[in-house]
Amino acid sequence: MVPLRIAILTISDTRTDATDESGAILLESARAAGHDVIEKVIVKDERPAIEAALRAYVASGSVDVVIATGGTGVTGRDVTPEAFEAVYEKALPGFGELFRWLSYAKIGTSTIQSRATAGVAGATYLFALPGSKGAVKDAWDEILVHQLDSRTKPCNFAEMLPRLAER
């Protein structure tokens, strides 16, 4: 197991550290899997703020993975996917597709409302998850815990990390 450096963002206008259950689940899950959680912060559901946070992590070189929760719905305030897509150099459409496929088994057609997304910028993976506790657990337990583990075969995101920034 090669521990990755992970930043956790909760995208919300209303959550506080005390009420951020989804962020807490990600924090506990990442640590339990052996990763280093560099930071857990709450960012306002505003596109410039989200983009600035993502760009800062990518530029720092001190974070391998950013996992955000919240702001992926379809309401007017939900701008997380747009902010993430503005930062991506390469999108990972399979992440959102797989997330919705797994989610369908649990919540049926309501999964169509999720705009979970993922991509790469520089040498950093960026994942945007819905804000519900169930969605965060599903994404972590069914996808991320495996893909962020260098021991997962036949391949995983962790083993590709050293080659992400190659040109």
Residue 47 lies in a domain: yes
Confidence of residue 25 (pLDDT cuts 50, 70, 90): very high
Mean pLDDT of 27-38: 98
Q: Rounded to two decimals, what is the model's pTM?
A: 0.96
pLDDT at residue number 26: 98
In a domain, 166, yes or no: no
CA 48, CA 41: separation in Å to the nearest integer? 16
pLDDT at 63: 97
- Please, are residues 149 and 137 in contact by the beta-carbon 8 Å criterion? no
Q: What are 33-74's pLDDT values in tens digits? A: 999 999 999 999 999 999 999 999 999 999 999 999 998 888
Q: Find the CATH number of the domain harbouring 93.
A: 3.40.980.10
pLDDT value at position 88?
96
User: Rounded to an integer, what distance in angstroms lies between the CA atom of residue 117 and that of residue 80?
Assistant: 9
Q: Which residue has the tokens 């998850």?
A: 129
Query: How far, in Å, CA of 13 to CA of 92, rounded?
Result: 27
Residue 164 included in any domain:
no
Percentage of the chain beyond pLDDT 90 is 85
Residue 165 lies inside a defined structural domain of this protein: no
The pLDDT, as a whole number, for residue 99 is 96
From CA 79, how far away is CA 81, in angstroms rounded? 6
pLDDT band at 164 (very low <50, low <70, confident <90, very high): confident
Residue 106: give the domain boundaries.
5-159
| Number of domains the chain is built from | 1
In a domain, 23, yes or no: yes
In a domain, 10, yes or no: yes
Residue 167 is assigned to a structural domain of this protein: no
Whether residue 154 has a cis bond before it, omega within 30° of 0: yes
Statement: residue 165 has pLDDT above 80: no
Q: Is residue 31 part of a domain?
A: yes
SS3 at position 67: strand
Structure confidence at residue 166 (pLDDT):
77
